[in-house]
Amino acid sequence: MNITPSKAIKLECKWCMGSVRSFKCDSQICKLNNKSLTPLKRIKLHCLDCVETRQEIKDCTGRLLLEDRLCYLHPYRFGHNPKRKGIGNRLGNPKFLQKTRTHDMVFASGN
């Protein structure tokens, strides 16, 4: 299933509300309902509420036994989008940390 974190939240909320049509959740305790956070941060906090420890999040299979279905949020449980792996954050990549001669360096050296 190829879905975005926002779509995963929407699907999980629809399942929770038991609704296939539009819904209005006003839960004050559900982390997925906190619009001040990014979707990935909301998912990460929701998963911590679900299983309580980071090790349990790591060991999670995504299989919800009582409901006999897979959790829509499972791929994003670490607060990262696995489909974006390797995209962005060039500063952490040694290939991009190599020194290059800039325009100012050329004039300073007199070459």
**Residues 5-58: tens digit of each pLDDT:** 889 988 888 888 876 565 677 778 888 888 888 999 999 988 888 888 888 888
- Band the pLDDT of 94: cuts 50, 70, 90: low
Query: Around Cβ 47, how many Cβ atoms within 10 Å?
Result: 22
Radius of gyration of the chain (CA): 21
Cβ atoms of 15 and 68 within 8 Å: the answer is no
AA letter at 89: N
Q: How confident is the model at residue 107 (pLDDT cuts 50, 70, 90)?
A: low
Structural domains in the chain (count) = 1
pTM over 0.85: no
Which range of residues forms the domain containing residue 94? 5-109
pLDDT at residue 41 in the model:
92
